[in-house]
Amino acid sequence: MASNYRAVCRSRSSAEFIAKLGTVIEEADETAFWLEVIIESGIIKENLVSSLLNENYELIAIFVATVKTKKKNINSE
């Protein structure tokens, strides 16, 4: 996820920014999925993973809000 976000920061256009950030969101969502699987399977105790999962959800929310803001700014130009 971090390497994909770095690519977002090097985007050459708004369209590329949005597309690359979409990849970041997909990767973050996949991370959430695997953290949920870890919790549900009992591989690791929930209290050890839940803070990571919550932080991941927060990052997803930030990335989604960023895409919405960027699209709004493009439409108002």
AA letter at 34 = W
Secondary structure class of 10 (helix, strand, coil):
coil
Query: Does CATH place domain 2-76 in 1.20.1580.10?
Result: no
Secondary structure class of 77 (helix, strand, coil):
coil
Q: In the block, which residue shows the tokens 């839940």?
A: 50
The answer to whether 64 and 18 have CB atoms below 8 angstroms apart is no
pLDDT at 33: 98
Per-residue confidence of the chain (77 residues) as pLDDT tens digits? 889 999 999 999 999 999 999 999 999 999 999 999 999 999 999 999 999 999 999 999 999 999 999 999 999 87
pLDDT at 77: 76
AA letter at 7 = A
41 Cα distance to chain centroid: 23
